[in-house]
Amino acid sequence: MYKAVIFDFDGLILDTESVHTAIFQEMFQSYNLEFPFEEWIQNIGTQSDVSIYDLLEKEIQPIDRAELKRINEEKLHTRLHTLKVRPGVEHYLKEAQAMNLKIGLASSSDYKWVSGHLSRLGLLDYFECIMTSDDVVEVKPNPDLYLLAAKELEVEPKSCIAFEDSANGSLAAKRAGLTCVIVPNETTQHLTFPEVDYRLSSMTDCALSDLLEKLTTIKQ
């Protein structure tokens, strides 16, 4: 039934989202302000017109955006350099290859960001196609990234499984007609998700072959 798997990147393969969130929490704490966690996490998995610095300026003015961005970028570079792939991800990629499933990626981030980290992690060669914000007009929750990835892999959306960690991402996958498995991280586990087909706390919880059997049964 299933011919392809399509992975999200941020938060799903590499938990950059929790790193970003921790850095922004520290920024708010430096001003003795409560971090607007609930408002912030709604933007995960998409590109918002409202930045974290806009949210900070709602509480205090003026702020030196350039300096804050510099500090935060330094923290991000340092922490991401040692950040490892989420548990079970590479095993799923190896299983997918062994099962002759096509492997794609659909991310709301840009190609340079995604490919750079995948190269560092030694995962880039697993992917037959990588669709990013560079390839579409609208990112998730718009379905275009997933539709384009399925097209590039030459499979029907209904024959693809999307692995996601965010509400915006899972909504995009379902709108595109894919089966969606949600694997939240420590930040996105607090989100309310649209209806998805299966939920894992980690890819180590269930082998990919077993997951495919479960999903096939659910879809029958």
Residues annotated as catalytic are 8, 10
Q: Could you tell me how far CA 156 lies from the centroid of its own chain?
A: 22
Pairing of strands 4-7, 198-199: unpaired
What gap in Å lies between CA 175 and CA 211, rounded to an integer? 21
Question: Long-range CB contacts (< 8 A, 24+ apart) of 94-97?
Answer: 95/207, 95/208, 95/209, 96/5, 96/126, 96/208, 97/126
138 backbone dihedrals φ, ψ, rounded to 5°: -125, 130
Q: Which of 202, 212, 180 is nearest to 172 (CA)?
A: 180
User: Which pair of structure tokens corresponds to residue 146?
Assistant: 């997933």
Q: Which of 89, 122, 106, 127 is nearest to 208 (CA)?
A: 89
The identity of residue 191, as a single letter, is L
